[in-house]
Amino acid sequence: MSEKHHQLGTDGLDRRAGTLERGLAILELLATERQLNAVQVADRLDLSRSATYRILGTLRQRGYVDWHGNADDIVLGQRTVTLGMAALSGYDPFLAAQAHLRDLSRELSEAALMAVRDGDQMVYIAHEDVTDHSIAVRRLLGLRRALHSTSLGKAYLAALPIDEADALVDRLELRAFTPTTITDPARLRAELDETRARGYSIDDSENEPDVLCFGAPIRDERGMPLCAISLAGPRERMLGKKDAAAKRISEVALAISRRLGFAGPVNAVKFER
């Protein structure tokens, strides 16, 4: 191949790589922000509107995005769900947890959830609820929630080494979602200390009003958190089973962790101050 033809081929690859990168950026944006139209997508990513419309057209044709009803809002398409489920099928914690979450939900008649950390948020990757199999419930999958306001997030934070958790707390935007959300870094650190001491986390209407959740981390062979699980339900109903919920979420999290290679006692990785 001549140098000229080689250059043309390289330029073509570079252009395609650039288009792919922009397409992925659009998908990642739509995963974190709802109710965006094409113009807003272009503005958020500093792309030209013509390029944005062109890339969105390709993504829609392939099933990766769609337009929401009669509105101009763009949403992730069914193809992203297919890819996500394919990825989860090979994710060890997900495989190890499925049956445990189903049994936990059946035992206490509440929703059992699993989430992984992505940056400063937790993302739902599994949900079992024997009392509700509606489409609305299944739409939890893929949704993001704050670290500081959820039992899932606090369980994950508390399982990190103290210095790492403190550094993360320092940079978090401690936004209030309800009147009881913890928005002070010192209070959050104290809450994480309590979580370490008792072995499970609590979200008492901090992310959603009148919802009580108990959470615990899933650990790898070194004792570091891979993800977290929680049991959630209406506050009034959960108060009547809080002792059982706290005990079982801790036991189930440990059982899943054991399947993933964690052999040590939980108190050996509490990273005391």
Write down the domain spans for the chain: 3-77, 90-269
- pLDDT surpasses 80 at 222: yes
- Give me the architecture of the 3-77 domain, per CATH: Orthogonal Bundle (1.10)
- pLDDT surpasses 80 at 196: yes
- 125-139: average pLDDT: 64
Distance CA 248, CA 22 (A): 45
Distance CA 141, CA 134 (A): 13
Stated pTM of the model? 0.68
Residue 137: predicted pLDDT:
46
Contact predicate 26/59, CB 8 Å: yes
- pLDDT surpasses 80 at 19: yes
- 187-196: average pLDDT: 96
- pLDDT surpasses 70 at 33: yes
Report which of 28, 5, 269, 254 is spatially closest to residue 162, judged by C-alpha positions: 269
- pLDDT surpasses 80 at 138: no
Residue 89: predicted pLDDT:
56
- 185-205: average pLDDT: 96
Fold of 90-269: Beta-Lactamase (3.30.450)
Distance of CA 256 to the CA centre of its chain: 18
C-alpha dihedral, 190 to 192 to 195 to 196, nearest 10°: -100
Confidence of residue 197 (pLDDT cuts 50, 70, 90): very high
Confidence of residue 6 (pLDDT cuts 50, 70, 90): very low
Q: Do domains 3-77 and 90-269 have the same CATH topology?
A: no
- DSSP secondary structure string, 33-90? --SB-HHHHHHHHT--HHHHHHHHHHHHHTTSEEE-TTSS-EEE-HHHHHHHHHHHTT
Across 4-13, 60-69, 105-114, 134-143, which has the greatest mean pLDDT? 105-114
Residue 134: predicted pLDDT:
40
Which of 1-15, 87-101, 141-155, 195-209 shows the lowest mean pLDDT across its residues?
Answer: 1-15
Residue 10: predicted pLDDT:
47
